Chain A
Amino acid sequence: MSETKGLTRQQMADRIALEFQDGWIVNLGVGIPTMCSNTDIGDRHVIYHSENGVIGYGPIAPAGDEDLNLVNAGGQNVTLNPGAAVVHHADSFAIIRGGHIDVTVMGAYEVACNGDFANWKVKGAKGGGIGGAMDLAACAKRVFLILEQVTRDGSPRLVAQCALPVTARGVVKLVATNYGLFEPTGDGFLLREIAAGFTVAEVRAATGAKLIVRGAVPLVRLAA
């Protein structure tokens, strides 16, 4: 496999984590989003929430020191930060549905410039994996996505309209990919920051919707 150009998985997570504000309650989805809890965001205090009712978890538990009855959304054994609490599933989703989550960060197969996104069912599948994604997408104050810019066969994942069944409509506020940082604006994607090594023309060619560029595009910010 050739080396991926642009941001690494951890760098995409780092860029999104820099958006977290002091005091936010943050839900991290399976995959790259859970890597946001590894990012140093300075003095800001963030509370990580997991669908299974863990409020205030911290980094992955060191090998040999795991509590096998404590996992994050991805089933990884994590640690607890001071102030943590555990509730049952209905209460955990009351937190979500009640609008108490400041941001949910998820992976996705596709995102459209109108804020629709798809992450629960692949083409031709009979089953799907929704998990908590629809509850989170419908009810969190903000939805941020982290995904690769293109599929394995090179098709853009940032599109004008989702072809796959959507998870929620019109909710995505910010998208980090290995190519840069994007904001869905309704009629296109605003390129806010670009990954080192790419030109705007390259990003445009790998985007399946109108790419909006305002002046000189800064490089992706990776440190607080």
Chain B
Amino acid sequence: MAPPSKQVASFAEAVRDIPDGAVVAFGGFAMPGTPFNLIKALHDHGAKQLTCIANTTGGAQQPRMPDIGMLVENGQVKKVICAFTAATRASDVLPFTKYYESGEVEAELVPQGTLAERLRAAGAGIPAFYTPTAVGTELAEGRETRVINGREYLLEYALPLDYAFVRATRADAFGNLQFHRSQRNFNPVMATAARITIAELDEDILPAGTIDPDAVHLSGIFVHRLVCVPPAPEGIWPVRRQERRR
């Protein structure tokens, strides 16, 4: 018997039950794999006191795409956990910065590989792990380290999520996902770390069983809701870099 389809009709419906105080992660690295449509739906939904996790807070370039910075500007965010809480170019100022510097929002700055591994650990039942990353830096000050085989390591804890938003190219009705090229990035590990994963899809949802099991990038056991991205302008799609300006 075919499993019931996980497709839901709209982005609004997909995010409707997200409560105030939820811990929500957004996949994506630059444009690829970023769930712009779900982030916009969360913005419109209005849940507050959120803890938001992503690679960056966004907003270094124009035109703006939906990002954590927009949720911050909308008064929805208590804390962010990111690998960038400032722009890569020191002269760029993020929309987020003003709120962070005034103390309206908290931030935890985490090295990118440590962020990925904390999510992976949460999904894999590992409560904490030791990593050489950030040893000897300001980030390690006052924290637990341990010397193993003559090298110093920093203790890092798993980062479990309430919700993960991901973007993929293709899904079957059970939620098995395929990503195209660098769309994959954080998306699979965030999905495994979350109680509820919501995926936005580039393509129409296929019947269960039509993606070759050997070619599934993320099992549908980690994916709970599926929404198709409509064509632009109703749906939000990655845009060419040279069409953006600083």
Contact = CB atoms under 8 A, between A and B. Distances in A.
Interface size, B (range): 35 or more
Contact of B111 (A74, A126, A135): A135
A62 B88 CA distance: 24
B215 interface: no
Contact of A169 (B83, B133, B136): B136
Interface in A120-158: 121-122, 125-135, 138-139
B184 A87 contact: yes
Contacts of B33: 69
A215 B181 CA distance: 50
A166 B139 CA distance: 10
A90 B117 contact: yes
A133 B133 CA distance: 9
Contacts of A167: 137
Contacts of A89: 29, 112, 116, 184-186, 189
A90 B120 contact: yes
B74 interface: no
Interface in B88-136: 88, 90, 94, 96-97, 100-101, 107, 109-114, 116-117, 119-120, 131-136
A76 B111 contact: no
Nearest to A125: B86
B19 interface: no
B136 A88 contact: no
B241 A75 contact: yes
A123 to B, nearest CB: 10
Given A53-B185, A66-B241, A86-B184, 12 more contacts: A52-B30, A53-B182, A69-B31, A88-B185, A90-B188, A126-B100, A128-B85, A130-B84, A130-B112, A131-B55, A132-B113, A138-B132
Interface of B: 29-33, 55, 83-88, 90, 94, 96-97, 100-101, 107, 109-114, 116-117, 119-120, 131-139, 169, 179-189, 217, 237-242
